[in-house]
Amino acid sequence: MRLKRIVSVLALLTISGCSLLQQAPREVEIITKPVKIEIVQPVMPRAIDLKEPKWYVVSDTKIIENCLKDPETKKSNCKLGREDLYPEGYTYLDRFIDDIKKKHGGDIVFVAMSVADYELMSYNTQEIKRYINQLGEVIVYYRNVTIGDEDAGAVEIKVEKEENE
């Protein structure tokens, strides 16, 4: 009988658990503070290195030769002669072809486009430039946001003019 009481008390304590030993509930304290996240920064793209093409506008207009200047009056006087001695009917197209043949050993190739196509190409180039600038601004924005106080800098577009003349 004594064993039954001990087992009953132990069973009662096991079932009730710690409910007999009640403690006052603790207050939960919620603290919010920013956590700095380490984000791997992408390498900024190198600057775009564009080369400026040369465009030639050639017409079949006849070349009007300049007259020599009078040294005293410094005005053009055709009686003194002409600066350039072009043959009669010599055009800008003829001069262009002769200059290119001299420059490239007699080889000549033409690449042409209409004015409308040139305007389209110009528009496309501006669109590419705009897109690259905006993409650069987005990258710089996100870098500034994630880096913090450091200035990420800007994306540069470098255009070099070739000096082959």
In eight-state DSSP terms, residue 44 is P
- Check pLDDT > 70 for residue 28: yes
Adjacent-strand bridge partners of 159: 50
Region 98-121: mean pLDDT is 85
Q: Indicate whether 109 pLDDT > 70.
A: yes
For residue 61, what pLDDT is reported?
Answer: 76
Pick from 115, 145, 164: which is nearest to 41 by CA?
Answer: 145
Neighbours of 44 (CB within 10 A): 15
What the block records as the tokens of 128 is: 């590419």
Highest-pLDDT range among 82-91, 116-125, 151-160: 116-125
Question: Of the given ranges (3-7, 115-119, 157-161), which has the lowest mean pLDDT?
Answer: 157-161
Q: Which band of pLDDT confidence, cut at 50, 70 and 90, is reported for residue 91?
A: confident
pTM value is: 0.42
Q: How confident is the model at residue 150 (pLDDT cuts 50, 70, 90)?
A: low
CA distances from 45 to 28, 42, 50, 132, 149 (A): 49, 9, 15, 11, 21
Q: Provide the pLDDT confidence category of residue 165 given band limits of 50, 70 and 90.
A: very low
| pLDDT confidence band for 17 (50 / 70 / 90) | low
For residues 111 and 161, the model is more confident at 111
Q: Is the pLDDT of residue 18 over 80?
A: no
Tokens (6 digits) for 14: 């096991």
